[in-house]
Structure 1
Amino acid sequence: MTATGPLVVVGDTLLDQDIEGEAGRLAPDAPAPVVDVHTDRSRPGGAGLTAALAARDGREVVLVTALGRDEAADTVRGALRDRVTLVELPLDGTLPVKTRVLAGRRPLVRIDRGGGSPGAPGDAVRAALAGAGAVLVADYGRHTALAVHAELAASARRVPLVWDPHPKGDTPVAGARLVTPNAAEARALVPGTGTALADDARRGRVLAERWRAATVAVTLGARGALLTRPATATPMLLPAPYPADGDPCGAGDCFAAVAAAALADGALPEEAVERAVAEAAAFVAAGGAGGTALWDPAAGPADPGRPPSDAFALAREVRARGGTVVATGGCFDLLHAGHVGLLESARRIGDCLIVCVNSDASLARRKGPGRPLNPLADRIRVLAALGSVDAVAPFEEDTPEALLEELRPDIWVKGGDYAVEDLPEAETLRRWGGQALVLPYLQGRSTTGLARRAARSATP
């Protein structure tokens, strides 16, 4: 069932600051690095970041949070004004400010300042929660959730409620559809020595029972998330679609925001967590909370379905360090042993393998009616999951020459009984000194043959 009201985010807002620079020397008076600053950025953090992430796709989002009259609170108001509807609780004190100092994009130190206590909710807060289509609690241990605990308990009985907990925060209300601790938080909440997947699953079950939650998703960083339920239900691991190399700051907020939005749209918890894992990976790869995509509308959102590496960026990077770029291409409509053997052999030739794959329209023109059997997005996902494949690049034309002109690989590989001079791509490669090669191909393996055998087996 799709929610009819807005997604209401309740929680503790912070102001996050990133001071970035380069550290190439030590201070003369202490063994401490000197950071030559080139960037100083401020942005909403905590529940403010979560609300902004939930609103990325144009969704109506209401943020219920405590803000004061200090400069940091005014900065948050300005950043969120055109993104979400703010419904404020009074704040006795100043807004917490968390400052990271980074050198070479790696944190050196974090400085925390400020803090206060949220006041009692007014009619506007109660009305926002009463009209919510779904609720997300972003608990950062500052007790905004405690101030509206009764209203949250009522919401959990009426609409999907997601609670992103904190070890020093408040206890989730009974009946939450999904609670999302990370592994470190789950281990702090359920002490024990084990850190294996089975131990995390046990902790998830314990927490689901303790909180009387329908499901608990223990997030595992690059490994994805472990979805658990009370009692003895078998846990489900939702792995990340690819390793995301980037700043993980804000990944948990992104996970919770996407999961809450999916539940609001009627998704099952399994579907919501799978979607959240994929988008959190894309968020990290795009630079995390400090990336420009979230706060610069012109940059656009990260694409959660993209391959783990951009083929063009990868080719430039490998060439820049003197490596060998290998490319191959084809339809890959039904991946079979012949394909796998070719790709593994091709990868061993150089320092990266980029697979050029026909679009659906291109494949249909080449293979005729009834093809493709698998759409492009599925074919890309299967190829990108292979350990031998570093990146995938689709092309719309009948042949990949135009794509190769952009990629400029050092080696182009095809499998089968071709002679190199018969390959249409060979002449293209010669323009920049590249080489076309033919590799052995397993006999008797073909997509057409597989499809025919499958059709015969399906015929009564």
Structure 2
Amino acid sequence: MTPQLLVVGDSLLDLDVAGSVDRISPDAPVPVFEEGDATARPGGAALAATLLALHGHRVRLLTAIGADEAGQRLRGLLNEHGVEVLALPYRGHTPEKIRLLSGRQVVLRLDRSAVTEPVGEPAETALVALAQADGVLVADYGRGVTSVNELRRVLATVAGSRPVVWDPHPRSCGPVHGMRLITPNEHELPADDDGTAPYADRLGALARRAATARLLWRAGGVALTLGAQGALLADGSPVPLVVAPPLVGEGDTCGAGDRFAGAATAALAEGALASEAVQLAVTAAARFVACGGASHYRQDSPATPAPGAFGLAAAREVVARTRAAGGRVVATGGCFDLLHAGHVATLRAARELGDCLVVCVNSDRSVRGLKGAGRPLVGQDDRAQTLAALGCVDAVVVFDDATPLGVLEHLRPDVWVKGGDYNLQEPGAARPSGGVMPEADRVRDWGGQCVLVPYVAGHSTTALIHSARRTAPAAPEEARRSTP
């Protein structure tokens, strides 16, 4: 059965107001914001719980919500997503965080009900639910929930038998001792460093600060979130674990910490080690940001392909930005099974021909259709991630057909590149491996140019596979048969 998770913490109602800014006020040197549509969503601990529910987890939320209009709206959103609310006694207003956005840019943030009333002690039913949870996430936003004495006492008790993750806030009284994992960002660590050192030195300083914080908080581990650099885990080992994200998106980072802490909690509740939980959390947070972050939180689901540097939508954004800047779009494609020096040479040469490079990669099914059973040796997700990690690659699109023509119709690159083992004659013309370039005519139709780049002799996936099979040691049974 799916573990029962419980989120404890301060909930808010978040409101994003879309609009535009195209002039300066005549009354003062400030931008004039033309208001458009507004979108409400859960915020704070309520967002952390909602994201877990959207990813198929059974979730309860122990929080304080006011009896005002904002509170009613927040309860409705939580109910819509299947989050069971366990209410703490509270007579204050529901905090609201309002962002005014022009495009992707936040123009202004307005906080309402910043001063809150004291939060009361939890009811017995809430304490029972807390004690029965398979995993607990404390989403601390410094608004009073995590200061409740009885709640802190029970959290310390629960931490002795099951994973409790604490996402801290600098305005709160700090995590309870004994947490399995604490997930601060750099600004939520105890002060120690001014942050002015170069990144390599700064990473060492952050590792020391995380290790010191772990001892101070008496926690099993501290997973320091580093934004686009991923996360650093200090768990008492002599050397910290640094986990880089598999992709870096340009979406809204609001809520990424909640997604990270929630994913880590779910993984620990399912029996993962802290190192495994942090790796899963980094990937989840990266996908969340690349999907658009909190402003598009409903779209981030396990079935959604990893976006950001991956996928047709991301590639189209790269193409649009390049063309808006007057640049040239280059694309190339292939199976890229067992990436080798010949592939890298082709990709680098292709990137030199323009201002962005989109790589179209055959899916696993497409490779099997072209190469036969037993191929690919490397799955499409791993192939795509490896390609995206190359500095000369701007976006990767996996396609399912025999050719990338469908992708090219969407992107319409200015230059379509293949290695020199292809030729550009009409369909049916042979190349050394017996293939053709069926995309050539369509690329010319929209004014694109097809080019070859030099073929690196002696490098091919097929040759690598044959060589590996020739040099592989014989299986024990085969070895025995060959013995005189």
Normalised-by-shorter TM-score class: over 0.9
- The DSSP-based 3-state class of the residue aligned with 1:167 is coil
Which residue number in structure 2 is paired with residue 347 of structure 1? Answer: 351
C-alpha change, 1:118 and 1:414, in structure 2 (3 Å) is same
Structure 2 equivalent of residue 202 of structure 1: 208
Partner of 2:131: 130
Report what 2:284 is aligned to. 279
Asked if residue 98 in structure 1 is aligned to residue 97 in structure 2, the reply is yes
Taking only the aligned residue pairs, the percentage that are identical comes to 50
* Residue 428 in structure 1 maps to residue 442 in structure 2: yes
C-alpha distance in structure 1 between counterparts of 2:409 and 2:33, whole Å? 41
1:252-289 Cα shifts (integer Å, max 9, x gaps): 11111111111112222122111211221222222221
Question: Cα RMSD between the aligned structures?
Answer: 2.1
Structure 2 letter corresponding to 1:272 = A
The worse-fitting range, judged by mean Cα deviation, of 399-408 and 274-283 is 399-408
Residues 138 and 166 in structure 2, CA contact (< 8 A), matched pair in contact too: yes
Amino acid at match of 2:125: A
1:220-231 to structure 2, matched below 5 A, reads 220-230=226-236
2:167 to 150, 155, 164: 164
- 1:319 Cα deviation from its structure 2 partner: 4.1
Quote the offset at 1:395 in angstroms: 2.3
**Letter of the aligned partner of 1:426 in structure 2?**
A
Cα distance change of structure 1 residues 403 and 19 upon mapping to structure 2, 3 Å threshold: closer
Q: Is the 8 A contact 2:168 2:183 kept in 1?
A: yes
**1:327 shift after superposition:** 1.4
Structure-2 separation of matches of 1:37 and 1:445: 58
Q: Secondary structure at the match of 2:451?
A: strand
Equivalent of 1:330 in 319, 327, 334? 334
How far, CA to CA, are the matches of 1:38 and 1:135 in structure 2? 38
- Which residue of 163, 177, 183 corresponds with 1:174? 177
What's the CA shift string for 1:273-317, capped at 9, x where partnerless? 1121122122222222122x42x7xx8668363351522443344
1:269 is aligned with what amino acid? A
Query: Is 1:331–1:363's contact at 8 Å kept on the other side of the alignment?
Result: yes
**In 2, Cα distance between the equivalents of 1:179 and 1:391?**
34
Q: Deviations over 1:335-386 (max 9, x none)?
A: 0111001100001101221112222122123223321111111111111111
Q: Residue 374 of structure 1 aligns to a residue in which SS?
A: coil
Aligned length: 451
Structure 1 gaps, min length 5 = none
Q: Aligned AA for 2:119?
A: P
Q: 1:330: Cα distance to partner?
A: 1.2
In the alignment, does 2:216 pair up with 1:217? no
Contact preservation (8 Å) 2:54, 2:301: no
CA distance in 2, matches of 1:209, 1:334: 44
Structure 2 CA distance, aligned partners of 1:192 and 1:459? 53
User: Aligned partners of 2:4, 2:23: CA distance in 1, in Å?
Assistant: 51
Structure 2 gap ranges (5+): 430-436, 475-484
> Secondary structure of 1:424's match?
coil
Q: Map of 1:40-51 to 2, 5 A cutoff?
A: 40-51=38-49
TM-score normalised by length of structure 1: 0.92
Which residue number in structure 2 is paired with residue 242 of structure 1? 247
Residue 452 of structure 1: CA displacement? 2.2
Distance 1:403 1:99 in 2: 39
Q: TM-score, normalised by structure 2?
A: 0.88
8 Å contact kept, 2:55–2:301: no
Q: Does 1:27 align with 2:25?
A: yes
- Give distance in 2, aligned partners of 1:369 and 1:206: 53
1:99 partner amino acid = I
Q: Distance in 2 between matches of 1:55 and 1:184?
A: 28
Cα separation, partners in 2 of 1:120 and 1:317, compared to 1, 3 Å: same
Q: CA deviation at 1:85?
A: 0.4
Superposition map of 1:265-414 within 5 A: 265-291=270-296, 293-294=297-298, 303=304, 305-306=306-307, 308-309=309-310, 310-319=314-323, 321-414=325-418
Q: Select between 374-383 and 19-28 the one with higher mean Cα deviation.
A: 19-28
Q: What do the CA deviations read for 1:411-454 (whole angstroms, capped 9, x no partner)? A: 21111243321433222222222221111021111112222222
